[in-house]
Amino acid sequence: MNSCRLLHHEPAIGAWNMAVDEMLLERAQQGAAPCLRFYGWSEPTLSLGYFQEYQHRTQHAASRNCGVVRRLTGGGAILHDRELTYSLILPPKHRFAEHRDELYRAVHGCLIEVLRQLGIPAELSPGERADDSPGPFLCFQRRALGDVVVGPTKIAGSAQRRRNGAVLQHGSLLWKASPAAPELPGLEDVAARPIALETLKSLWIDRLQGVLGCPWRHNEPLCEKEVREAEGLVKCRYAWENWALNRGRGLIAVKIPFDDADGS
């Protein structure tokens, strides 16, 4: 049975977080083992969906002073702050890599099982009727088929990017409302009783192991080559203002200052 790499990363800046996800996706295209990564954000950060217009961020006044990064995946903007963020990267030959909806259901289904085990009545969202409107600016004000909801509140959602058969799925579990997005309650805000984030995370990891069909490889940090590749993506893409503004097209390159790429 093939193993799956399990990574737990400390909070870091948005450019580094997105660069590591893309680096792992590039390695998966070359046949690297599946990887599940959990990480956080060193400061409240707004991530724009790949196709969102940058100027639309003015629709959300509370996050106006937050840093901005553009994701590889589509969908609405996410204010990353008091949350648990994950990325799951699968190589082309993995059984879930070719099945977009099945992968969403597998990951979110495991989360729902854990939440119910902890006494929280979570379920999959039926979605909303599609129309021609772009939808709200913030992802967590939208409802897509397969989102995780507790009553009317969306507490988890995910998005995907595929390259040459490999897939990156990353998503957020909102834990508590952020001052930069006070209109969005998190799980702790809607749960009838307190739960420990580390307990939920551990139970979720255990269930995902069975669903993904591979044992975890623990305590395996990024190697030097992986760090260099991620740093290269920060410097050539995620730390440049023209990537955030327009995916790097048709604009003069203006580098966004950053101090420590790995957030340490």
Active site residues: 139
- Which of 138, 123, 225, 222 shows the shortest CA–CA distance to 180? 138
The sheet with strand 45-48 has its strands ordered as 67-70, 45-48, 78-80
As a whole number of Å, the CA-based R_g of the chain is 18
Contact 11, 83 (CB under 8 A): no
202: CB partners within 8 A, 6+ apart: none
> 156: burial class by Cβ within 10 Å (0-12, 13-18, 19+)?
buried
SS3 category, 74 = coil
Contact 25, 72 (CB under 8 A): yes
> 178: burial class by Cβ within 10 Å (0-12, 13-18, 19+)?
buried
Residues linked to residue 76 through DSSP beta bridges, in sequence order: none
CA 237-175-216 angle, 5° bins? 70
